[in-house]
Chains A and B, each alone.
Chain A
Amino acid sequence: MPIFEYQDVKIDVDEDGFMQEPEKWDETIAKALATTEGVDELTDEHWKVVNYLREYYLKFGIAPMIRKLCKETGFPLKRIYELFPSGPAKGACKVAGLAKPTGCV
Protein backbone atom coordinates (compact mmCIF):
# COMPACT_ATOMS: atom_id res chain seq x y z
CA MET A 1 0.00 0.00 0.00
CA PRO A 2 1.53 3.36 -0.97
CA ILE A 3 2.31 5.91 1.74
CA PHE A 4 1.89 9.61 1.12
CA GLU A 5 4.34 11.91 2.85
CA TYR A 6 4.40 15.70 2.86
CA GLN A 7 6.15 17.71 5.54
CA ASP A 8 4.79 16.29 8.83
CA VAL A 9 2.03 14.33 7.19
CA LYS A 10 2.40 10.59 6.67
CA ILE A 11 -0.72 8.61 5.67
CA ASP A 12 -1.74 5.42 3.86
CA VAL A 13 -3.27 6.10 0.47
CA ASP A 14 -4.58 3.93 -2.37
CA GLU A 15 -2.96 3.77 -5.82
CA ASP A 16 -4.68 6.99 -6.82
CA GLY A 17 -3.65 8.84 -3.69
CA PHE A 18 -6.98 8.65 -1.82
CA MET A 19 -6.79 8.33 1.97
CA GLN A 20 -7.29 4.84 3.28
CA GLU A 21 -8.47 5.89 6.72
CA PRO A 22 -10.75 8.91 6.21
CA GLU A 23 -11.37 9.19 9.97
CA LYS A 24 -7.80 10.42 10.40
CA TRP A 25 -8.39 13.44 8.17
CA ASP A 26 -7.65 16.93 9.42
CA GLU A 27 -6.94 20.32 7.88
CA THR A 28 -3.20 19.75 7.72
CA ILE A 29 -3.78 16.56 5.74
CA ALA A 30 -6.16 18.45 3.44
CA LYS A 31 -3.46 21.01 2.71
CA ALA A 32 -0.94 18.27 2.06
CA LEU A 33 -3.28 16.30 -0.24
CA ALA A 34 -4.14 19.51 -2.10
CA THR A 35 -0.54 19.75 -3.30
CA THR A 36 -1.02 16.47 -5.21
CA GLU A 37 -3.94 18.07 -7.02
CA GLY A 38 -2.02 21.09 -8.17
CA VAL A 39 -3.66 23.28 -5.52
CA ASP A 40 -0.93 25.10 -3.63
CA GLU A 41 -3.16 27.17 -1.44
CA LEU A 42 -6.61 26.35 -0.17
CA THR A 43 -8.73 29.50 -0.44
CA ASP A 44 -12.08 30.15 1.26
CA GLU A 45 -13.79 28.80 -1.85
CA HIS A 46 -11.78 25.59 -1.67
CA TRP A 47 -12.65 25.21 2.00
CA LYS A 48 -16.31 25.77 1.29
CA VAL A 49 -16.27 22.74 -1.04
CA VAL A 50 -14.06 20.64 1.23
CA ASN A 51 -16.03 21.41 4.38
CA TYR A 52 -19.32 20.64 2.69
CA LEU A 53 -17.99 17.30 1.42
CA ARG A 54 -16.66 16.50 4.85
CA GLU A 55 -19.89 17.36 6.60
CA TYR A 56 -21.91 15.28 4.15
CA TYR A 57 -19.49 12.39 4.42
CA LEU A 58 -19.71 12.27 8.21
CA LYS A 59 -23.48 12.12 7.98
CA PHE A 60 -23.89 9.70 5.07
CA GLY A 61 -20.61 7.82 4.74
CA ILE A 62 -20.19 8.80 1.09
CA ALA A 63 -19.78 11.83 -1.13
CA PRO A 64 -22.91 13.77 -2.11
CA MET A 65 -24.28 13.83 -5.63
CA ILE A 66 -22.30 16.17 -7.83
CA ARG A 67 -25.44 18.14 -8.52
CA LYS A 68 -26.06 18.51 -4.80
CA LEU A 69 -22.51 19.66 -4.16
CA CYS A 70 -22.95 22.40 -6.78
CA LYS A 71 -26.31 23.52 -5.47
CA GLU A 72 -25.34 23.54 -1.81
CA THR A 73 -22.06 25.36 -2.32
CA GLY A 74 -23.47 27.65 -4.98
CA PHE A 75 -20.60 26.81 -7.34
CA PRO A 76 -21.37 25.67 -10.89
CA LEU A 77 -19.53 22.48 -11.90
CA LYS A 78 -17.21 24.57 -14.05
CA ARG A 79 -16.10 26.56 -11.01
CA ILE A 80 -15.45 23.36 -9.07
CA TYR A 81 -13.20 22.17 -11.90
CA GLU A 82 -11.36 25.49 -11.72
CA LEU A 83 -10.85 25.03 -7.99
CA PHE A 84 -9.96 21.35 -8.23
CA PRO A 85 -8.65 20.57 -11.72
CA SER A 86 -9.35 16.80 -11.49
CA GLY A 87 -12.96 17.57 -10.67
CA PRO A 88 -15.32 17.04 -7.76
CA ALA A 89 -14.89 13.28 -7.34
CA LYS A 90 -11.20 12.86 -8.02
CA GLY A 91 -9.93 16.23 -6.85
CA ALA A 92 -12.20 17.70 -4.21
CA CYS A 93 -13.11 14.38 -2.59
CA LYS A 94 -9.46 13.40 -2.38
CA VAL A 95 -8.58 16.62 -0.55
CA ALA A 96 -11.56 16.14 1.76
CA GLY A 97 -10.25 12.68 2.63
CA LEU A 98 -13.16 10.75 1.14
CA ALA A 99 -12.91 7.34 -0.49
CA LYS A 100 -13.15 7.01 -4.26
CA PRO A 101 -16.67 6.11 -5.42
CA THR A 102 -16.97 2.87 -7.43
CA GLY A 103 -19.50 1.44 -9.85
CA CYS A 104 -21.12 3.09 -12.86
CA VAL A 105 -19.70 6.51 -12.05
Chain B
Amino acid sequence: MKRRNIILTSISILLLLVFIFVADSSFDAYKVRILNLCAIYTVLGLSMNLINGFTGLFSLGHAGFMAVGAYTTALLTMSAATKQQNFFLAPILPPLDRLNAPFLVALLVGGLLSAFVALLIGAPVLRLKGDYLAIATLGFSEIIRIVFTNTQRITNGALGLKAIPSTTNLWWSYGAAAFTVVIMALLISSSYGKAFKAIREDEIAAESMGINLFKHKVLSFVIGAFFAGVGGGLLGSLMGTIDPQMFKFAFTFNILLIIVLGGMGSITGTVIAAFIISSAGELLRFLDQSINLGFVVIPGISGLRMVVFSALLMVVVLFFRNGLMGTNEFSWDKVIGLLQRRPLIKRRLGQ
Protein backbone atom coordinates (compact mmCIF):
# COMPACT_ATOMS: atom_id res chain seq x y z
CA MET B 1 0.00 0.00 0.00
CA LYS B 2 1.18 3.47 -0.77
CA ARG B 3 2.20 5.72 2.12
CA ARG B 4 -0.46 8.25 1.15
CA ASN B 5 -3.17 5.62 1.24
CA ILE B 6 -2.10 4.38 4.64
CA ILE B 7 -2.35 7.93 5.97
CA LEU B 8 -5.75 8.49 4.39
CA THR B 9 -7.04 5.18 5.75
CA SER B 10 -5.75 5.96 9.24
CA ILE B 11 -7.41 9.37 9.20
CA SER B 12 -10.72 7.84 8.11
CA ILE B 13 -10.61 5.22 10.84
CA LEU B 14 -9.85 7.91 13.39
CA LEU B 15 -12.75 10.05 12.14
CA LEU B 16 -15.06 7.05 12.34
CA LEU B 17 -13.97 6.37 15.92
CA VAL B 18 -14.57 10.01 16.87
CA PHE B 19 -17.96 9.91 15.19
CA ILE B 20 -18.98 6.75 17.05
CA PHE B 21 -17.80 8.29 20.29
CA VAL B 22 -19.83 11.45 19.71
CA ALA B 23 -22.87 9.54 18.49
CA ASP B 24 -22.71 7.10 21.38
CA SER B 25 -22.61 9.85 23.97
CA SER B 26 -24.86 12.53 22.54
CA PHE B 27 -27.24 11.23 19.82
CA ASP B 28 -30.84 10.46 20.75
CA ALA B 29 -32.02 6.87 20.98
CA TYR B 30 -33.78 6.97 17.59
CA LYS B 31 -30.67 8.07 15.71
CA VAL B 32 -28.50 5.59 17.58
CA ARG B 33 -30.92 2.82 16.67
CA ILE B 34 -30.73 3.70 12.97
CA LEU B 35 -26.95 3.83 13.09
CA ASN B 36 -26.88 0.46 14.79
CA LEU B 37 -29.16 -1.00 12.14
CA CYS B 38 -26.91 0.36 9.38
CA ALA B 39 -23.93 -1.48 10.82
CA ILE B 40 -25.81 -4.71 11.48
CA TYR B 41 -27.28 -4.70 7.97
CA THR B 42 -23.73 -4.23 6.69
CA VAL B 43 -22.76 -7.48 8.41
CA LEU B 44 -25.85 -9.25 7.06
CA GLY B 45 -25.45 -7.83 3.56
CA LEU B 46 -21.80 -8.84 3.34
CA SER B 47 -22.56 -12.33 4.56
CA MET B 48 -25.18 -12.79 1.85
CA ASN B 49 -23.04 -11.15 -0.81
CA LEU B 50 -20.25 -13.64 -0.16
CA ILE B 51 -22.60 -16.48 -1.05
CA ASN B 52 -24.75 -14.86 -3.73
CA GLY B 53 -22.56 -12.14 -5.18
CA PHE B 54 -19.04 -13.49 -4.98
CA THR B 55 -19.66 -17.20 -5.33
CA GLY B 56 -22.75 -16.92 -7.52
CA LEU B 57 -24.90 -19.28 -5.45
CA PHE B 58 -28.43 -17.96 -5.45
CA SER B 59 -29.30 -18.77 -1.86
CA LEU B 60 -32.46 -17.50 -0.21
CA GLY B 61 -31.92 -19.11 3.17
CA HIS B 62 -30.47 -16.17 4.98
CA ALA B 63 -33.31 -15.54 7.40
CA GLY B 64 -32.86 -19.05 8.76
CA PHE B 65 -29.18 -18.48 9.56
CA MET B 66 -29.98 -15.17 11.21
CA ALA B 67 -32.62 -16.88 13.32
CA VAL B 68 -30.14 -19.48 14.54
CA GLY B 69 -27.68 -16.75 15.54
CA ALA B 70 -30.32 -14.54 17.13
CA TYR B 71 -31.84 -17.32 19.25
CA THR B 72 -28.47 -18.68 20.33
CA THR B 73 -27.14 -15.29 21.37
CA ALA B 74 -30.37 -14.41 23.16
CA LEU B 75 -30.53 -17.68 25.10
CA LEU B 76 -26.88 -17.40 26.08
CA THR B 77 -27.14 -13.84 27.35
CA MET B 78 -30.53 -13.90 29.12
CA SER B 79 -30.43 -14.40 32.87
CA ALA B 80 -32.01 -17.47 34.45
CA ALA B 81 -34.79 -15.29 35.88
CA THR B 82 -35.63 -13.68 32.54
CA LYS B 83 -35.73 -17.09 30.93
CA GLN B 84 -38.12 -18.31 33.58
CA GLN B 85 -40.41 -15.35 32.95
CA ASN B 86 -40.31 -15.96 29.21
CA PHE B 87 -41.01 -19.67 29.35
CA PHE B 88 -44.31 -19.58 31.21
CA LEU B 89 -46.16 -21.96 28.88
CA ALA B 90 -43.62 -24.73 29.21
CA PRO B 91 -40.40 -24.64 31.22
CA ILE B 92 -37.16 -24.21 29.36
CA LEU B 93 -35.21 -27.36 28.67
CA PRO B 94 -32.25 -27.83 31.02
CA PRO B 95 -29.38 -27.06 30.84
CA LEU B 96 -30.44 -24.07 28.70
CA ASP B 97 -31.89 -22.43 31.79
CA ARG B 98 -28.48 -22.10 33.40
CA LEU B 99 -26.29 -21.63 30.32
CA ASN B 100 -24.82 -18.18 30.20
CA ALA B 101 -21.96 -16.54 28.36
CA PRO B 102 -20.49 -13.10 27.81
CA PHE B 103 -21.90 -11.27 24.78
CA LEU B 104 -18.85 -11.79 22.56
CA VAL B 105 -18.80 -15.52 23.25
CA ALA B 106 -22.56 -15.69 22.72
CA LEU B 107 -22.24 -13.96 19.33
CA LEU B 108 -19.45 -16.29 18.26
CA VAL B 109 -21.34 -19.38 19.39
CA GLY B 110 -24.38 -18.07 17.48
CA GLY B 111 -22.25 -17.65 14.39
CA LEU B 112 -20.69 -21.08 14.77
CA LEU B 113 -24.04 -22.81 15.27
CA SER B 114 -25.39 -21.02 12.24
CA ALA B 115 -22.32 -22.15 10.29
CA PHE B 116 -22.89 -25.69 11.50
CA VAL B 117 -26.50 -25.61 10.32
CA ALA B 118 -25.24 -24.29 6.97
CA LEU B 119 -22.85 -27.22 6.77
CA LEU B 120 -25.68 -29.69 7.36
CA ILE B 121 -27.92 -27.96 4.82
CA GLY B 122 -25.15 -27.28 2.34
CA ALA B 123 -24.05 -30.88 2.07
CA PRO B 124 -27.21 -31.90 0.20
CA VAL B 125 -28.41 -28.59 -1.22
CA LEU B 126 -25.24 -27.18 -2.76
CA ARG B 127 -25.31 -29.90 -5.40
CA LEU B 128 -28.27 -28.04 -6.89
CA LYS B 129 -28.02 -25.07 -9.22
CA GLY B 130 -29.82 -21.85 -10.06
CA ASP B 131 -33.45 -21.59 -9.07
CA TYR B 132 -33.52 -25.10 -7.64
CA LEU B 133 -30.88 -24.00 -5.17
CA ALA B 134 -32.90 -20.85 -4.48
CA ILE B 135 -36.07 -22.72 -3.68
CA ALA B 136 -34.32 -25.43 -1.65
CA THR B 137 -32.49 -22.91 0.54
CA LEU B 138 -35.71 -20.97 0.96
CA GLY B 139 -37.33 -24.25 1.96
CA PHE B 140 -34.68 -24.95 4.57
CA SER B 141 -35.02 -21.45 5.94
CA GLU B 142 -38.77 -22.03 6.34
CA ILE B 143 -38.11 -25.41 7.96
CA ILE B 144 -35.83 -23.74 10.52
CA ARG B 145 -38.59 -21.24 11.24
CA ILE B 146 -41.22 -23.93 11.58
CA VAL B 147 -38.96 -25.94 13.87
CA PHE B 148 -38.36 -22.86 16.02
CA THR B 149 -42.11 -22.28 16.21
CA ASN B 150 -42.64 -25.79 17.48
CA THR B 151 -39.75 -26.35 19.86
CA GLN B 152 -41.59 -24.67 22.70
CA ARG B 153 -39.13 -25.65 25.41
CA ILE B 154 -36.06 -24.41 23.54
CA THR B 155 -37.21 -21.32 21.67
CA ASN B 156 -40.45 -20.56 23.51
CA GLY B 157 -42.29 -21.26 20.25
CA ALA B 158 -44.50 -18.62 18.68
CA LEU B 159 -44.27 -16.44 21.79
CA GLY B 160 -40.65 -15.66 21.03
CA LEU B 161 -38.12 -14.30 23.48
CA LYS B 162 -38.60 -10.99 25.24
CA ALA B 163 -36.37 -8.81 27.40
CA ILE B 164 -33.16 -9.91 25.71
CA PRO B 165 -30.34 -7.93 27.36
CA SER B 166 -29.61 -4.99 25.09
CA THR B 167 -25.85 -5.21 24.90
CA THR B 168 -25.61 -4.12 21.26
CA ASN B 169 -24.41 -0.56 21.08
CA LEU B 170 -22.52 1.41 18.45
CA TRP B 171 -19.16 0.01 19.53
CA TRP B 172 -20.37 -3.54 19.18
CA SER B 173 -22.21 -3.06 15.91
CA TYR B 174 -19.53 -0.97 14.22
CA GLY B 175 -16.84 -3.24 15.60
CA ALA B 176 -18.63 -6.21 14.05
CA ALA B 177 -19.19 -4.37 10.78
CA ALA B 178 -15.54 -3.34 10.54
CA PHE B 179 -14.41 -6.86 11.40
CA THR B 180 -16.68 -8.30 8.71
CA VAL B 181 -15.53 -5.81 6.07
CA VAL B 182 -11.87 -6.57 6.77
CA ILE B 183 -12.32 -10.34 6.78
CA MET B 184 -14.38 -10.23 3.58
CA ALA B 185 -11.86 -8.01 1.82
CA LEU B 186 -9.00 -10.30 2.82
CA LEU B 187 -10.91 -13.45 1.94
CA ILE B 188 -12.11 -12.17 -1.43
CA SER B 189 -8.64 -11.07 -2.52
CA SER B 190 -7.06 -14.36 -1.46
CA SER B 191 -6.65 -17.39 -3.69
CA TYR B 192 -9.82 -18.86 -2.18
CA GLY B 193 -11.82 -15.72 -2.91
CA LYS B 194 -10.64 -15.83 -6.50
CA ALA B 195 -11.69 -19.45 -6.70
CA PHE B 196 -15.16 -18.37 -5.49
CA LYS B 197 -15.32 -15.79 -8.24
CA ALA B 198 -14.20 -18.37 -10.79
CA ILE B 199 -17.13 -20.55 -9.74
CA ARG B 200 -19.46 -17.58 -10.18
CA GLU B 201 -18.09 -16.86 -13.65
CA ASP B 202 -18.14 -20.39 -15.03
CA GLU B 203 -18.60 -23.53 -12.98
CA ILE B 204 -17.51 -25.91 -15.68
CA ALA B 205 -14.31 -24.01 -16.40
CA ALA B 206 -13.58 -23.63 -12.69
CA GLU B 207 -13.98 -27.35 -12.17
CA SER B 208 -11.74 -28.06 -15.14
CA MET B 209 -9.09 -25.82 -13.60
CA GLY B 210 -8.98 -28.16 -10.63
CA ILE B 211 -11.26 -26.24 -8.29
CA ASN B 212 -13.31 -28.60 -6.16
CA LEU B 213 -16.74 -27.03 -6.64
CA PHE B 214 -18.44 -28.65 -3.73
CA LYS B 215 -15.71 -27.88 -1.22
CA HIS B 216 -15.52 -24.23 -2.21
CA LYS B 217 -19.27 -23.76 -2.33
CA VAL B 218 -19.59 -25.23 1.14
CA LEU B 219 -16.79 -22.98 2.40
CA SER B 220 -18.49 -19.88 1.06
CA PHE B 221 -21.90 -20.95 2.32
CA VAL B 222 -20.64 -21.78 5.81
CA ILE B 223 -18.60 -18.59 6.20
CA GLY B 224 -21.56 -16.54 4.96
CA ALA B 225 -23.82 -18.30 7.44
CA PHE B 226 -21.37 -17.61 10.27
CA PHE B 227 -21.57 -13.87 9.68
CA ALA B 228 -25.34 -14.05 9.20
CA GLY B 229 -25.54 -15.71 12.62
CA VAL B 230 -23.41 -13.01 14.21
CA GLY B 231 -25.56 -10.33 12.56
CA GLY B 232 -28.69 -12.06 13.81
CA GLY B 233 -27.28 -12.14 17.35
CA LEU B 234 -26.51 -8.42 17.27
CA LEU B 235 -29.94 -7.65 15.89
CA GLY B 236 -31.73 -9.70 18.54
CA SER B 237 -29.85 -7.88 21.26
CA LEU B 238 -30.66 -4.53 19.66
CA MET B 239 -34.37 -5.29 19.28
CA GLY B 240 -34.76 -6.89 22.68
CA THR B 241 -37.45 -9.18 21.28
CA ILE B 242 -37.36 -11.96 18.71
CA ASP B 243 -39.95 -14.40 17.45
CA PRO B 244 -40.18 -16.81 14.51
CA GLN B 245 -42.38 -14.40 12.49
CA MET B 246 -39.42 -12.03 12.26
CA PHE B 247 -37.40 -14.51 10.24
CA LYS B 248 -39.78 -14.99 7.35
CA PHE B 249 -38.76 -14.75 3.72
CA ALA B 250 -39.39 -10.98 3.87
CA PHE B 251 -36.26 -10.61 5.99
CA THR B 252 -34.15 -12.41 3.40
CA PHE B 253 -35.78 -10.12 0.84
CA ASN B 254 -34.46 -7.05 2.66
CA ILE B 255 -30.92 -8.35 2.60
CA LEU B 256 -31.30 -9.34 -1.04
CA LEU B 257 -32.39 -5.79 -1.78
CA ILE B 258 -29.21 -4.52 -0.16
CA ILE B 259 -26.86 -6.67 -2.20
CA VAL B 260 -28.72 -6.08 -5.45
CA LEU B 261 -28.77 -2.33 -4.88
CA GLY B 262 -25.12 -2.22 -3.86
CA GLY B 263 -23.96 -4.58 -6.58
CA MET B 264 -23.69 -8.35 -6.43
CA GLY B 265 -20.00 -8.86 -5.84
CA SER B 266 -18.99 -5.55 -4.30
CA ILE B 267 -18.10 -5.05 -0.64
CA THR B 268 -18.19 -1.29 -1.01
CA GLY B 269 -21.58 -1.42 -2.67
CA THR B 270 -22.99 -3.61 0.09
CA VAL B 271 -21.83 -1.20 2.78
CA ILE B 272 -23.32 1.80 1.00
CA ALA B 273 -26.58 -0.01 0.25
CA ALA B 274 -26.85 -1.31 3.82
CA PHE B 275 -26.73 2.28 5.04
CA ILE B 276 -29.22 3.47 2.44
CA ILE B 277 -31.72 0.67 2.99
CA SER B 278 -31.63 0.60 6.77
CA SER B 279 -31.87 4.39 7.05
CA ALA B 280 -34.62 4.48 4.45
CA GLY B 281 -36.37 1.65 6.26
CA GLU B 282 -36.58 3.77 9.38
CA LEU B 283 -37.05 7.16 7.74
CA LEU B 284 -39.85 5.87 5.53
CA ARG B 285 -41.70 4.56 8.54
CA PHE B 286 -43.79 7.73 8.35
CA LEU B 287 -45.39 6.24 5.26
CA ASP B 288 -46.91 3.53 7.39
CA GLN B 289 -47.90 5.72 10.34
CA SER B 290 -50.23 8.63 10.57
CA ILE B 291 -48.65 12.04 10.92
CA ASN B 292 -50.19 14.53 13.31
CA LEU B 293 -49.51 18.04 12.12
CA GLY B 294 -51.46 19.57 15.00
CA PHE B 295 -54.35 20.87 12.93
CA VAL B 296 -54.72 17.88 10.63
CA VAL B 297 -53.83 14.21 10.82
CA ILE B 298 -52.55 12.58 7.65
CA PRO B 299 -53.41 8.92 7.90
CA GLY B 300 -50.51 6.57 7.19
CA ILE B 301 -50.99 3.67 4.87
CA SER B 302 -49.66 0.47 6.32
CA GLY B 303 -47.53 -1.45 3.83
CA LEU B 304 -46.59 1.56 1.70
CA ARG B 305 -43.00 1.40 2.87
CA MET B 306 -42.63 -2.14 1.61
CA VAL B 307 -44.24 -1.12 -1.69
CA VAL B 308 -41.51 1.48 -2.08
CA PHE B 309 -38.86 -1.15 -1.29
CA SER B 310 -40.17 -3.78 -3.65
CA ALA B 311 -40.58 -1.20 -6.40
CA LEU B 312 -37.01 -0.07 -5.73
CA LEU B 313 -35.73 -3.63 -6.11
CA MET B 314 -37.51 -3.97 -9.44
CA VAL B 315 -36.29 -0.60 -10.72
CA VAL B 316 -32.71 -1.53 -9.85
CA VAL B 317 -32.85 -4.93 -11.47
CA LEU B 318 -34.73 -3.71 -14.54
CA PHE B 319 -32.83 -0.51 -15.23
CA PHE B 320 -29.57 -0.52 -13.26
CA ARG B 321 -28.52 -4.12 -13.40
CA ASN B 322 -25.15 -3.62 -11.77
CA GLY B 323 -26.50 -1.71 -8.82
CA LEU B 324 -24.46 1.13 -7.40
CA MET B 325 -21.04 -0.44 -7.71
CA GLY B 326 -21.27 -3.49 -9.97
CA THR B 327 -18.27 -5.56 -8.96
CA ASN B 328 -16.08 -2.51 -8.31
CA GLU B 329 -14.52 -1.59 -5.00
CA PHE B 330 -13.55 1.60 -3.31
CA SER B 331 -9.91 2.61 -3.46
CA TRP B 332 -8.15 5.84 -2.59
CA ASP B 333 -6.46 5.84 -5.99
CA LYS B 334 -9.83 5.88 -7.71
CA VAL B 335 -11.24 8.57 -5.46
CA ILE B 336 -8.24 10.80 -5.94
CA GLY B 337 -8.22 10.06 -9.66
CA LEU B 338 -11.84 11.15 -9.78
CA LEU B 339 -11.13 14.28 -7.79
CA GLN B 340 -8.31 15.22 -10.10
CA ARG B 341 -10.48 14.36 -13.10
CA ARG B 342 -7.75 12.20 -14.50
CA PRO B 343 -8.46 8.92 -16.19
CA LEU B 344 -8.82 6.22 -13.57
CA ILE B 345 -5.61 4.65 -12.51
CA LYS B 346 -5.80 1.03 -13.46
CA ARG B 347 -6.71 -1.21 -10.65
CA ARG B 348 -3.72 -2.87 -9.13
CA LEU B 349 -3.97 -6.59 -8.92
CA GLY B 350 -3.04 -9.43 -6.72
CA GLN B 351 -3.55 -7.55 -3.50
Same complex origin of A and B? no
